[in-house]
Chains A and B, each alone.
Chain A
């Protein structure tokens, strides 16, 4: 059983389109995250949710909107896609939003905007 899963794995789309990425975890964790990995493999936090409540919203364009329908799911919707949005997006989860907790990562969604 996959602990943290993401769909789709690959996403190729045109500039200006709107797209969504879905994430699900079956670990029973309370906290979920979205990270962005750029072309130089640099990883940065975008959003974090705890018990469906937003706890981190980094300086991300408001074209990015996360939604957590329940504790096991955290989706990412992106409006008006731009070339610079091309990256790998990772979902992760942890037991709690505390520093010592291990975060478990999904396989990533590779987004290419043309």
Chain B
């Protein structure tokens, strides 16, 4: 069965510090993987996705993620955090039929000045 696990429900960093949000997946088929961001009181917005090809995926707002099949991971990183990055981040994988997304429990990113 498809699933994602996000390690760490809350991550706090200082402005300018590296951001690392962890996601591990379980999939019975070659996975597609997604990171979405949810700003307070808003809907979800796609940050980046991995389908096939290059394992290092670049997204919006300076975020990137690397698909590592051997580690079943798709961790999200950003070299230098900005205050505006404070939000909820969700890793997701399609269900087995590919007809809906299965989300992780989310990681709240806090950025302090």
A contacts, CB < 8 Å to B: 4, 33, 40-45, 48, 55-56, 90, 92, 97-100, 102-108
The 10 closest A-B pairs by CB, nearest first: A99-B94, A99-B98, A105-B43, A45-B100, A43-B103, A105-B44, A100-B51, A107-B43, A97-B99, A100-B32
Whether A90 contacts B99 by the Cβ 8 Å rule is no
Indicate whether B84 reaches chain A with its CB closer than 8 angstroms.
no
Q: Is the CB of A107 within 8 A of B42?
A: yes
- CB atoms of A90 and B43 under 8 A apart: yes
- Give B23 Cβ to nearest chain A Cβ, in Å: 14
Interface: B49 (CB within 8 A): yes
* Count, A-B residue pairs, CB within 8 A: 56
Q: Contact at A103–B106, with CB atoms within 8 Å?
A: no
CA distance A104 to B94 in the complex (A): 14
- Report which B residues bind A (CB closer than 8 A): 32, 34, 36, 38, 41-46, 49, 51, 88, 90, 94-95, 98-103, 105-106
Task: Specify which of B45, B49, B101 is in contact with A45 (CB 8 Å cutoff).
Answer: B101
CB pair A105–B45 under 8 Å, yes or no, is: yes
Whether A98 lies near B98 (C-beta < 8 A) is yes
What's the Cα separation between A100 and B88 when bound, in Å? 22
A41–B90 CA distance with the chains assembled, in angstroms: 10
How far apart are A40's CB and chain B's nearest CB, in angstroms?
A: 7
| Given A40-B105, A41-B88, A42-B105, A56-B99 contact (CB < 8 Å) | yes
> Per a CB cutoff under 8 Å, which of B36, B88, B90, B99 touches A48?
B99
How many angstroms between the C-alpha atoms of A4 and B102 in the bound complex?
A: 20
